[in-house]
A and B are shown apart, each in its own frame.
Chain A
């Protein structure tokens, strides 16, 4: 009988953020296939992360408020002048 390779928290974390090497990824996926409890947990963690990424992506798709664009326009104009004006702080 083949020994189960020990899967560490670092493996799971690297799997979730996509930093697992292809070789290690195969080992981890084999382990997940053999351990339903672990697989369910990883799937749940993945779903949590996906949900928060979806919220973040949605925020980024909101239109940029006019006052931000006005700020950038104002700065572009100040760059055209010889002495660059520095904003506060």
Chain B
């Protein structure tokens, strides 16, 4: 959901595992291990990006998810795909805040610490992410204008 192609995501997880295991003695008992792991993941991700200069995050056009959850009906499945597609177009800074808080359930303070930004920034990014996602989906929910017909009429000089 964050990096786009599954192979790249697997590499990222592997790098995180290696680093987390070798630094396990630095993790403090009583602190949030998930937050600690997210911090490692983010560092690994940015180090990789700096090194490889690969196109970051979900810029690939296709459906990131081949295996969308088995939805009760086709309509719901399509909805999930639409949301996924719209989500991939959000700026990465907004995506990561959304994933940490709205999906993973971390609180503002934990997310702010992982991302190294003030809590206020986290809140405004989350709000932007939700609103931009909704705006984009509202747009695609509306019936599309008949572009093909229109172009045809222009061609015929109508």
Contact = CB atoms under 8 A, between A and B. Distances in A.
Interface string A20-51: 00000000000000000000010011011101
Interface residues of A, dominant DSSP: helix
A23 B133 CA distance: 29
Q: How large is the interface on A (under 10, 10 to 19, 20 to 34, 35 or more residues)?
A: 20 to 34
A80 interface: no
Contacts of B137: 44, 48
A56 to B, nearest CB: 5
B65 A71 contact: no
A68 B80 contact: no
A87 B18 contact: yes
Given A67-B14, A68-B13, A71-B21, A49 B102 contact: yes
Interface in B63-83: 65, 67-69, 71, 79-80, 83
Q: How large is the interface on B (under 10, 10 to 19, 20 to 34, 35 or more residues)?
A: 35 or more
Given A48-B130, A48-B137, A89 B83 contact: no
Nearest to A18: B105
B21 A51 contact: no
Nearest to A9: B127
A75 B138 CA distance: 49
A9 to B, nearest CB: 6
B103 interface: yes
Given A48-B137, A51-B83, A87-B22, A56 B1 contact: yes
A12 B14 CA distance: 37
A78 to B, nearest CB: 9
A52 interface: yes
B18 A48 contact: no
A32 to B, nearest CB: 16
29 contacts: A13-B130, A16-B102, A17-B101, A17-B105, A41-B134, A44-B134, A44-B137, A47-B83, A48-B83, A49-B102, A49-B130, A51-B80, A51-B83, A52-B87, A53-B103, A55-B68, A55-B69, A56-B1, A56-B103, A56-B104, A57-B69, A58-B69, A68-B14, A71-B14, A71-B21, A75-B21, A87-B21, A88-B18, A89-B22
